[in-house]
Structure 1
Amino acid sequence: MNYWLIKSEPFKYSWDNFVKEGKSVWDGVRNYQARNNMKAMQVGDWALFYHSNEGMEVIGIAEVTKEFYQDPTTEDPRWVVVEFKPIKKLNKSVSLKQIKEDSRLENMVLIKNSRLSVQPVLKEEFDIIIALSE
């Protein structure tokens, strides 16, 4: 299993919207590195759901339910989507501030490349964030 972090601005698409819909097509990604990360995702992988801009916090866990295919919002063949379902909301969210203050997470992509909307997460980093949410 691989681990990821996916970002969404809560005023556009929040965790609550995601849970209400029960699944989501992660579309509109227009960054090559994020696209390549989506192409590497496999069914069953888990992703931390991160509210960006407002909140700036990890709020829940999502699971990949369908691997990449052509993004239906564009005819440009370079862009893909992945489908997710919500697994669970964290007991308490984990803020970017908490992540930055934890030396065990200092090499996390979220810290090193904060603008990347779809990014890999090491299992150790995933486990630390889950522990911080308890």
Structure 2
Amino acid sequence: MAYWLMKSEPDELSIEGLARLGEARWDGVRNYQARNFLRNMSVGDEFFFYHSSCPQPGIAGIARIKAGAYPDPTALDPQSHYFDAKASAEKNPWSAVDVEHVRTFGQVLGLGLLKQQTALEALALVQKGSRLSVMPVTPEQWQAICALAR
């Protein structure tokens, strides 16, 4: 099993929203490196659900990959703000995955707290200038963050 961190704006999809739904499609990723990470995910992989672009950014819980990568339908939908005019049914460069809720943390683990952890120094999230919405997490980083959530 691999571990990941994926960012979502809470007004788009929050950990609470995912908990209510049980499962959802994770779509709208429009960065090639982040898309490649999506394509490397396997069913059963777990990820930290990170709330971004909000008053309290941070890790809000854990979710799991329920279905591996498939063509992102939002790229073909002119009504979606993730629409890509260059994409077609035959050649869609974007991917989505299906996810399911695992656990909501009692409190959000804020970015400031995460940056203070020496065990997380190499985590892409805390690197200056890193803006990826999908990134790998090592097993050691996973354990360090889980320990913070307890």
TM-score (norm 1): 0.95
Q: Deviations over 1:15-47 (max 9, x none)?
A: 111111110101111000000000000000000
In 1, Cα distance between equivalents of 2:57 and 2:140 = 21
TM-score (norm 2): 0.86
Q: CA deviation at 1:90?
A: 1.8
Identity in percent: 40
Q: Which runs of 5+ in 1 are unaligned?
A: none
State the SS of the aligned residue for 1:73: helix
Please, what is the CA RMSD of the aligned residues? 1.1
Number of the residue aligned with 1:78: 93
User: When the two structures are aligned, how many residues end up with a matched partner?
Assistant: 134
Number of the residue aligned with 1:33: 33
Which of 114, 133, 140 is the aligned partner of 1:117?
Answer: 133
Q: Considering only CA atoms, is the larger Rg found in Structure 1 or Structure 2?
A: 2
**Which residues of 2 match residues 36-75 of structure 1 at below 5 A?**
36-54=36-54, 55-75=56-76
Q: Which runs of 4+ in 1 moved over 3 A?
A: none
- Asked whether the equivalents of residues 90 and 130 of structure 1 are also in contact (C-alpha less than 8 Å), the reply is no
State the SS of the aligned residue for 2:73: coil
Number of the residue aligned with 2:84: none
